[in-house]
């Protein structure tokens, strides 16, 4: 089964999906292929995750992948790394206050090409 980017108009989104697909092919990584296929689906199926949810379900020091948007509702008390398609400015400020780090999906895919020891939150 092949994943092909169709009906997406955002150049940034197309580049992210193609980059993740390229990583998955180079490293035989099912993880990045799954994230790319989630982003290639309808925007209604994207994960919109609040910081409060992350605080409940993620342990200290983990790296989290969100196939969608990070939103600012709630408080984050843990120091974690978060990779998402987008994050609101308020969410980025709250992350900085908690000592957490936000990185782009493509950067995380370069750092961790196999997609090991990552947690998907939806």
DSSP structure string for 19-62: HHHHHHHHHT-HHHHHHHHHHHS-GGGSEEEEHHHHHHH--TT-
What's residue 66's pLDDT? 97
With a cut of 60, say whether residue 56 has pLDDT above it.
yes
The pLDDT value recorded for residue 4 is 72
Q: What is the pTM of this model?
A: 0.90
Distance CA 71, CA 50 (A): 5
pLDDT score recorded for residue 87: 97
- Give the CA angle between residues 45, 49, 51 to the nearest 5°: 175
Contacting residues for 113 by C-beta, under 8 A, at least 6 apart: 23, 26, 27, 29, 32
- pLDDT score of 57 more than 80: yes
């Amino acid at each position: 089964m092949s994943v092909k980017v169709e009906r997406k108009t955002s150049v940034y989104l197309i580049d992210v999906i193609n980059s993740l697909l390229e990583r998955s092919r180079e490293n035989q990584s099912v993880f990045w292929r799954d994230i790319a296929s989630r982003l290639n689906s309808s925007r209604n199926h994207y994960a919109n995750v609040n910081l409060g949810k992350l605080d409940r379900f993620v342990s200290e020091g983990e790296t989290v992948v969100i196939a969608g948007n990070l939103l600012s509702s709630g408080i984050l008390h843990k120091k974690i790394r978060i990779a998402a398609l987008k994050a609101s400015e308020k969410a980025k400020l709250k992350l900085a206050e908690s000592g957490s780090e936000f990185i782009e999906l493509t950067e995380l895919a370069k750092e961790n090409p196999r997609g090991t020891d990552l947690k998907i939150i939806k």
